[in-house]
Amino acid sequence: MEKANSHRKITIERKHVESLLFHIAMFLSIGGVAQKEAQKEFVSAYRRAVKLATGRKIENIEYPIDHADIVGLWMRDKRFLDMTGRPRTLSLRGKNSFVTLVRLVNSGANPSKVLKTLIRYGNVRRVRDGRYCLVRSFFSISTPKRVAFEPSTYFLADASETLEKIFTRTKQTKSPEDFWQKVENTRLSAKSAKRFLTFSRQRTIEFLGEMDEWLEANSETSKSKKSNKKRRVGLGVFSVYSKPNN
């Protein structure tokens, strides 16, 4: 399945489309919206979205999940850290190089393609001596010119699935209780809003780093007898910045 966007075609697998739409459909169904009415409103919303499309390119990337794992391993594995505990500047090849890093995460991934993606989205930068330094502590999926499709899809699907689980949870549900929390204020000036986003971004990076360390410390190797029963568990945080009130 292909969808044209900003004069560029991206490949969209049906499973991605369904993952985006299923939980929204579930939410509308729970709310009592009839299928016919939902289909009508979707067409209307889609037409409006096409008119508002920007010039930013949406593109497919290979190994979408591995990129985040590569950045995470670069941040915490002692083989890729300097004496102060910060990510080292890595050579492309050799012992404990960038290629080593990629192979540890996914032995089948192409290091050159991974590196190009990380550079293109501002996560990695080539320095004068030909080595590569990590610029961001978490995998960034967008720039002023482009957005990575797959990670964006996972984000929207995760948020929708969490909301769906909250609405469908009963007393008999055995899984841990999902949550959705938010803080907001409607009395900030544009200047204060900008300061808040800068402040919250930094604190969020520190907080997520702590969460990542906990997940890593409590994870089990794939050799575990119960490895086939493992679940993907994590935490996502997003900012809120609305248009000014009239």
Residues 79-130: tens digit of each pLDDT:
999 999 999 999 999 999 999 999 999 999 999 999 999 999 999 999 999 9
Q: Are strands 146-148 and 57-59 parallel, antiparallel or unpaired?
A: parallel
Residues 217, 51: Cα–Cα separation, whole Å = 47
Give me the pLDDT at residue 107, please.
Answer: 92
Task: Sketch the domain layout of the chain as residue ranges.
Answer: 64-134, 182-246
What span, in angstroms and rounded, lies between the C-alpha atoms of 90 and 97? 5
Q: According to the model, what pLDDT value does residue 5 have?
A: 44
As a CATH number, domain 64-134 is: 1.10.10
CB under 8 Å to 235, separation ≥6 — which residues?
208, 211
What is the reported pLDDT for 1? 54
Q: Between the CA of residue 33 and those of 25, 27, 45, what are the distances in Å?
A: 9, 9, 15
Residue 6 pLDDT level (bands cut at 50, 70, 90): very low
Helix axes 111-120, 98-105, angle to 10 degrees: 100
What pLDDT digit, counting tens, does each position of 57-92 carry? 888 888 888 999 999 999 999 999 999 999 999 999
The CA angle 110-65-227, to the nearest 5 degrees, is 105
Question: Both tokens of residue 152?
Answer: 């964006």
pLDDT of residue 28: 87
Angstrom distance (rounded) from CA 144 to CA 121: 10
Report the predicted TM-score, pTM, of the whole model to 2 decimal places: 0.76
pLDDT tens digits, one per residue of 117-172: 999 999 999 999 999 999 998 899 998 888 998 888 888 888 888 888 888 888 88
